[in-house]
Amino acid sequence: MIIQTLHSSPTFHGFSSFHSHLSCSSSSSSPFLAKRFLPFVPFPSRNPLLKFNSTSNDSTPDQDYLLDAPESVGDGFSFSGGKYSDEPSPSDEWFKQGKMVKAYSSSGSGEKAKDPIFGLTMGAGSQASSDFFRWFCVEVGSADNPSVILIHGFPSQAYSYRKVLPILSKDYHAIAFDWLGFGFSDKPQPRYGFDYTLDEYVSSLESLIDELAVTKVSLVVQGYFAPVVVKYANSNQEKIKNLMLLNPPLTAQHAKLPPTLSIFSNFLLGEIFSQDPLRASDKALTSCGPYKMKEEDAMVYRRPYLTSGSSGFALNALSRTMKKDLKRYVEDMQRILKDQSWKVKTTICWGQRDRWFSYDGVENFCKDSNHTLVEVPKAGHHVQEDCGEELGQLIYKTISRRDYI
């Protein structure tokens, strides 16, 4: 085993506050509905007969309320530089860099998805595709170069690799994608074509990689999705050239979700909190390490939760799956990585300021399994967020040394 140390100098700025407002339209029937801005909850009307109707982009005459509304309607949030301001949207700029790739067939029956709380028909964002799911992918570099696929963790987005992609683009065909249920990829309502089980994620990953790369690839995966990727790689070792795991759950201690994430799996509270963009994106990203999120980056991570309820329902479903099956998947990953039949060249990169995963047992695991361990002292759980440029150089050096072996 080789232990290397990577030093970095983070340059992140403080996270600026997020403001939310609700706008009430004026109405001649009630003086209390005069146009005004109110924090979070609209001022109650004295008219008991008032009824609020909301429709979505796939509404039908017999539906007077749907959870998802077209983007033009807005969702009650107002913030500078964000989705509903006149300033450029960081999330729109990121979206322009990518494309949609169809992979993994939907198992849905064609029935319209309904939300689990009220039984109301969901909007288009929660409906399963009629054929194959759409995955948002950002590609850089020539397709003639060796392929590197960057896989984000839970919960996160492909956007987390925005500082890594340019570094790899010169000599590699680098691809970052959003998992189903995250970012700009499809987010079907659970039980309507995709149930967010870990087994489904393994199968869907195989389908996507078959679409993205025709030759052997190198894989980089962060956090809780590492066991999913290792299980896929174990059955497809002939397709994998290198594997890099960024703060994966390696020990029994890591097989339990931290409170920040486990709250999303709770009955009722999980449904509520998973719809909160500050809990689902900001807190999940900043509570696990030293990362200080810039407002422009926060806009991108919040976007899915602001525009549709489908992101929250997907987060709730996957959290419950993780709570139930993560321990088994971690045990399987331990066994696979230590097995003599495992032939994939593997590097484990560890951000030592991880507040979710203890470093205890990591070094011993790497010694026992004979895998390279790279320590990143200044990074937390999301290494690519804390030290993106340094990680890009590390990935470049690691896979370049092995490309022609």
pTM greater than the 0.85 cutoff: no
- The sign of the dihedral angle between the CA atoms of 89, 380, 321, 258 is negative
Q: pLDDT tens digits for the chain (405 residues)? A: 555 555 544 433 333 333 333 333 333 333 333 333 334 444 344 443 333 333 333 444 333 333 333 333 333 333 333 444 566 788 999 999 999 999 998 876 667 777 666 777 766 666 667 779 999 999 999 999 999 999 999 999 999 999 999 999 999 999 999 999 999 999 998 888 899 999 999 999 999 999 998 789 999 999 999 999 999 999 999 999 999 999 999 999 999 999 999 999 998 888 899 999 889 989 988 999 888 888 899 999 999 999 888 899 999 999 999 999 999 999 999 999 999 999 999 999 999 999 999 999 999 999 999 999 999 999 999 999 999 999 999 999 999 865 544
Residue 357 Cα distances to 159, 255, 289, 305, 325, angstroms: 22, 9, 10, 26, 18
Name, in order, each residue with C-beta under 8 angstroms of 384's C-beta and a sequence gap of 6 or more.
150, 152, 160, 161, 163, 164, 222, 246, 391
- The sign of the dihedral angle between the CA atoms of 154, 155, 160, 165 is positive
What is d(CA 370, CA 249) in angstroms, rounded to the nearest whole number?
17
Contact 309, 122 (CB under 8 A): yes
Residue 146 Cα distances to 29, 208, 210, 238, angstroms: 66, 17, 15, 15
